[in-house]
Chains A and B, each alone.
Chain A
Amino acid sequence: MRVVLAEDLFLLRDGLVRMLEAYDFEVLAAVETGPELTKAFAELRPDVAVVDVRLPPSHTDEGLQCALAARRDRPGLPVLVLSQHVEQLYARELLADGNGGIGYLLKDRVFDADQFIDAVRRVAGGGTAMDPQVIQQLLSRRTQDKPIGQLTPREREVMELMAQGRSNAAIAAQLVVTERAVSKHTSNIFGKLGLPVSDDDNRRVLAVIAYLDRGQQ
């Protein structure tokens, strides 16, 4: 799988290149500025990009803007955005086009190489990888929400993992239950939240996130 990486801190960039290569990714380019990233998007046409939100020269949200621009040119272009902090504001902007193939994670998540690589692969495959903190923030605003209050603790756990973009199999592995049990939980969740059941993993995720984010209660 061909990947472009944009990260301005040398240590992190170097570490990410080594990690990605260790998991058999082909790193086409590892750039450090916004303009270089835009060029790499246009010329190298990667399968997936891993992008830091804040990039030189402006040190603003240049990486995020580059990624959004590239996705406007190539809808669904898989991009995994990394940041020192996660903001619902940015998550909304990334998810707004509803095309999937999007990830938004704290940089801390690279500590767990297996999970991080899993997220990159998921995004590359058109799926979603939302940081658990984003989901937590969304949930914390909905303490008054009746349908969510009706979920059992286990269903809530499943919903959080699902909203992060995990597949049924991954959720089953994490919670140490069978996949059948997970799919039973998910259909309960969809029933309680009144969401249309869908076979498409990614649509399902986006529906849950959209539900959580809907008009702030």
Chain B
Amino acid sequence: MSGTKSVAKRVVVGSATTAGRGLVLGLTAIVGSITLFVLSVVSIALILIGIGVFTTPYVLTAVRMHANRRRLLAATWSDVKIPIPYRPMPADLRTGVTGQVERTTLMLKDPATWRDLGWLMVDMTAGATVALLSMGLFVYPLEGLVLAAGLWRVFEDDAYWYGFVPVDSQLTGLFAAAFGAGMFAVGLRYANDIQRGYFLLARAMLAPDHDQQLAQRVAHLTETRHDAVDTSAAELRRIERDLHDGAQARLVAMGMDLGTIEALIEKNPAKAKELIANARKSSAEALTELRDLVRGIHPPVLAERGLGDAVKALALRLPVETDVQVDLPGRADAPVESAAYFAVSEILTNAIKHSNADRVWIDMTYAESMLRITVGDNGGGGATIGGGTGLSGLERRLGTFDGILAVSSPAGGPTMVTVEIPCELS
């Protein structure tokens, strides 16, 4: 019994939810899309007499928010992902009238704006119809039931058309109920698909076309290439400075010592011996400095063993308890390994420096062409990507590899940083 009950409950809740969603989509499609479309057209037309310059950015922003809400619902309700194609606004936009003109021009030049307007037209007509249909499949059967239950009496003289059933008696009322039940069954089976259809229609109108996608890709690549060049130039400067101030200076000192030793060796053997010890110390220091430098350029364990063992070796150098789990079926390309290694190293440095953690764990896995590294700690939390922290630099550097960085760090901890880099293993 309870089984039947729970099935019934599921059917009622499920159909109510779907019907509700259909209503929301239909209403917002009609009210929202029509209003925004009219406002957009009027505002753009008013640019001719100047007023439009001030209203258009606001109206178009509202359109974008409207479309973005649809994108969100598409993803949460029907698992349809609609990419966001808007070009980013430059950060250094001027204020006042010129800024407003600039903003309007930029928005009107963005092909995504025109696709939005096209979508509004489709959404308030075909979209609204489809959305309301998905709701009607649940609501209309109710009317059939009411008719069968007695409402038919009202129409005894003049038949009421329920669907294709002329209702004027108990019998035809029952027909109507049966027809409604059939429709309800159809609704249970297909309403979700119809709503999905609605979102697919929206995607067809809203998703960036091929040209836009290419343009976005080019913009992304230009930006990351810029970052990559900057980063490697900064790296080279650092290496140059380290060599210049470190190993190079030590070797100069050693050469000088050796010269003095040559001059002193017969006159003052004791002094010469002291200088020999000096020279040896300089050479040992030069080696230590070179070793540290090498570790910063390309850690030896990474070259010898690959990413997994390199991170294990790194973890062994940390002052806190660190648990490393590695599940990698092969080795990635050297640049990816190196980027991943330094990403982990930087995240660990951050964790040790800022979080007061006494436990750290690292998890590295590979699935679906994606290298995924998670670094967690039990420290105080509050880590963010922005605000000039090391993590924003890291995010930019990972961008070169189309990698992404995600940080979850509520105040009070724990912190979890995830890095994902698309790559192939060999």
Is B287 in the interface zone, CB < 8 Å from A? yes
Rounded to whole angstroms, the CA-CA distance of A88 and B319 in the bound complex is 13
Rounded to whole angstroms, the CA-CA distance of A61 and B306 in the bound complex is 10
Per-residue contact bits, chain B 306-341, to A (CB 8 Å; 1 contact, 0 not): 000100110011110110000000000000000000
Is B51 in the interface zone, CB < 8 Å from A? no
Inter-chain contact B319/A143, CB cutoff 8 Å: yes
Is B30 in the interface zone, CB < 8 Å from A? no
Inter-chain contact A137/B305, CB cutoff 8 Å: no
- Closest chain-A Cβ to B413's Cβ sits at a distance in Å of 20
Is B304 in the interface zone, CB < 8 Å from A? yes
Is A74 in the interface zone, CB < 8 Å from B? no
Is B284 in the interface zone, CB < 8 Å from A? yes
Rounded to whole angstroms, the CA-CA distance of A137 and B313 in the bound complex is 11
Rounded to whole angstroms, the CA-CA distance of A61 and B305 in the bound complex is 7
Inter-chain contact B316/A137, CB cutoff 8 Å: yes
Is A60 in the interface zone, CB < 8 Å from B? yes
Inter-chain contact B312/A89, CB cutoff 8 Å: yes
Is A54 in the interface zone, CB < 8 Å from B? yes
Inter-chain contact A87/B316, CB cutoff 8 Å: yes
Question: Within 8 Å CB of A140, what residues of B?
Answer: 319
Question: Within 8 Å CB of A88, what residues of B?
Answer: 313, 316-317
Inter-chain contact B313/A108, CB cutoff 8 Å: no
- Give the interface size class of chain B: 20 to 34
Rounded to whole angstroms, the CA-CA distance of A182 and B378 in the bound complex is 42
- Number of A-B contacts defined by CB within 8 Å: 49
Inter-chain contact B321/A87, CB cutoff 8 Å: no
Rounded to whole angstroms, the CA-CA distance of A141 and B294 in the bound complex is 23
Inter-chain contact A141/B319, CB cutoff 8 Å: yes
- Give the interface size class of chain A: 20 to 34
Set A59, A111, A137: member contacting B317, Cβ < 8 A = A137
Inter-chain contact B313/A89, CB cutoff 8 Å: yes
Inter-chain contact A85/B316, CB cutoff 8 Å: no
Rounded to whole angstroms, the CA-CA distance of A87 and B301 in the bound complex is 8
Please give me the residue from chain A that is nearest to B319 by CB atom.
A141
Inter-chain contact A89/B309, CB cutoff 8 Å: yes
Question: Could you tell me which residues of chain A, from 78 to 127, have a CB within 8 Å of some CB in chain B?
Answer: 83-85, 87-89, 108, 111
Please give me the residue from chain B that is nearest to A217 by CB atom.
B321
Inter-chain contact A216/B322, CB cutoff 8 Å: yes
Is B354 in the interface zone, CB < 8 Å from A? no
- Closest chain-A Cβ to B136's Cβ sits at a distance in Å of 65
- Closest chain-B Cβ to A65's Cβ sits at a distance in Å of 10
- Closest chain-B Cβ to A78's Cβ sits at a distance in Å of 23
Rounded to whole angstroms, the CA-CA distance of A117 and B123 in the bound complex is 85
Inter-chain contact A108/B284, CB cutoff 8 Å: yes
Question: Within 8 Å CB of B313, what residues of A?
Answer: 87-89
Inter-chain contact B319/A85, CB cutoff 8 Å: no
Is A53 in the interface zone, CB < 8 Å from B? yes
Label chain B's interface by main secondary structure: helix
- Closest chain-B Cβ to A190's Cβ sits at a distance in Å of 25
Inter-chain contact B284/A60, CB cutoff 8 Å: no
- Closest chain-A Cβ to B359's Cβ sits at a distance in Å of 10
Rounded to whole angstroms, the CA-CA distance of A140 and B301 in the bound complex is 20
- Given A89-B312, A108-B287, A137-B317, A53:B304 Cβ within 8 A: yes
- Closest chain-B Cβ to A135's Cβ sits at a distance in Å of 13
Question: Could you tell me which residues of chain A, from 52 to 66, have a CB within 8 Å of some CB in chain B?
Answer: 53-54, 59-61, 64
- Closest chain-B Cβ to A196's Cβ sits at a distance in Å of 26
Question: Could you tell me which residues of chain A, from 132 to 164, have a CB within 8 Å of some CB in chain B?
Answer: 137, 140-141, 143
- Closest chain-A Cβ to B145's Cβ sits at a distance in Å of 70
Set A60, A108, A216: member contacting B304, Cβ < 8 A = A60
Rounded to whole angstroms, the CA-CA distance of A84 and B319 in the bound complex is 23
Is B295 in the interface zone, CB < 8 Å from A? yes
Rounded to whole angstroms, the CA-CA distance of A140 and B320 in the bound complex is 10
Inter-chain contact B303/A59, CB cutoff 8 Å: yes
- Closest chain-B Cβ to A92's Cβ sits at a distance in Å of 8
Rounded to whole angstroms, the CA-CA distance of A209 and B284 in the bound complex is 26
Inter-chain contact A85/B295, CB cutoff 8 Å: yes
Inter-chain contact A54/B304, CB cutoff 8 Å: yes
Question: Within 8 Å CB of B288, what residues of A?
Answer: 108
Question: Could you tell me which residues of chain A, from 18 to 77, have a CB within 8 Å of some CB in chain B?
Answer: 53-54, 59-61, 64
Rounded to whole angstroms, the CA-CA distance of A217 and B318 in the bound complex is 12
Question: Within 8 Å CB of A108, what residues of B?
Answer: 284, 287-288
Rounded to whole angstroms, the CA-CA distance of A83 and B305 in the bound complex is 14
Rounded to whole angstroms, the CA-CA distance of A157 and B280 in the bound complex is 23
Inter-chain contact B304/A89, CB cutoff 8 Å: no
Question: Within 8 Å CB of B319, what residues of A?
Answer: 140-141, 143
Per-residue contact bits, chain A 181-216, to B (CB 8 Å; 1 contact, 0 not): 000000000000000000000000000000000001
Please give me the residue from chain B that is nearest to A213 by CB atom.
B316
- Closest chain-A Cβ to B199's Cβ sits at a distance in Å of 51
Is B296 in the interface zone, CB < 8 Å from A? no
Please give me the residue from chain B that is nearest to A64 by CB atom.
B304
Q: List 10 A-B contacts (CB under 8 A).
A: A60-B304, A61-B304, A85-B300, A85-B301, A87-B300, A88-B317, A89-B301, A89-B309, A216-B322, A217-B321
Chain B interface residues (CB < 8 Å from chain A): 280, 283-284, 287-288, 291, 294-295, 300-301, 303-305, 309, 312-313, 316-319, 321-322
Chain A interface residues (CB < 8 Å from chain B): 53-54, 59-61, 64, 83-85, 87-89, 108, 111, 137, 140-141, 143, 216-217
Given contacts A84-B291, A216-B321, 19 further A-B contacts (CB under 8 A): A54-B303, A59-B303, A60-B304, A61-B304, A83-B300, A84-B300, A85-B291, A87-B313, A89-B313, A108-B284, A108-B288, A111-B283, A111-B284, A137-B316, A137-B317, A140-B319, A141-B318, A216-B322, A217-B321
